[in-house]
Amino acid sequence: MRAIFSVSIPQACIGRILGLNIYIAGPPLTRALGYPICSIPVFDAMRRIILRTNIAHINITNWEDFELPKRLFRSLGGSSEPLDANSEPLALLQLLWEKRTEIDFVKPIPNSHKGYPFVRAVYAQFTQLVRLLLHHGADPGERECSAVKVAITKKDLTMVKILIEFEPEPETRGKKRRRADRLVVTPWMLDLAVRCDARDIVKYFMEEKRSVHSEYDTLKIV
């Protein structure tokens, strides 16, 4: 059945989705995201229909933030194909947030499921998706800094820096204003980097973040 609807026109998929969850409470767009047949064209078509249709039983002013379905992120990191701006679920999330002013009832929670989407994005080393989630409020400290742990174990210095540091603010009078870090580098982060033999991360923690190692002779690894 799913294979059939994967090649169907958006209107057919919309009918199927509405038929599946017509008796389930909650915003239809929120419910629709839970179904694999809800592709970007399907979701956008549903959004347009709702915007131009006066449905009496839908009170969009009372719709609340919603959690992003886990299904959108489960496959991240499971393919050898490079991830880019056209990779799922980046394009769909961009649609959700870019249309935020147009459809005020669509308010995704970047820290959905205690940071599950964010950790999966870090695991997949999907930099564009990580930056998007951070921009909209994802917290790298969620789940006891699980995202940072993943980045360290993958020896991904670039990702570690993205998680810890804010992007530099625009220059003012020829100088860039530096914001305080998102996270404070703690001894356990340095310990983990040493255990993983992530030497560039160890050096970054020690020299730039002035972190003090607590358990090992760090000089042997740098």
Q: Which residue has the higher pLDDT, 6 or 107?
A: 107
Which pLDDT belongs to residue 39? 73
Which whole number is the average pLDDT over 135-139?
Answer: 93
Partnered with residue 171 across adjacent β-strands are 176
pTM of this prediction exceeds 0.85: no
- Write the pLDDT tens digit of every residue in 73-92: 988 877 777 788 878 889 88
- Write the pLDDT tens digit of every residue in 164-180: 999 876 666 666 666 78
Backbone φ and ψ for 11, nearest 5 degrees, come out as: -60, -35
As a whole number of angstroms, the distance between CA 35 and CA 29 comes to 11
CB 150 within 8 A of CB 76: no
CB 93 within 8 A of CB 122: no
User: Structure tokens of 19?
Assistant: 């038929």
* 3-state secondary structure at position 165: coil
* Lowest-pLDDT choice from 5-9, 126-130, 140-144, 204-208: 5-9
Percent of the chain scored above 70 by pLDDT?
64
Q: What is the DSSP letter of 178?
A: P
As a whole number of angstroms, the distance between CA 81 and CA 87 comes to 10
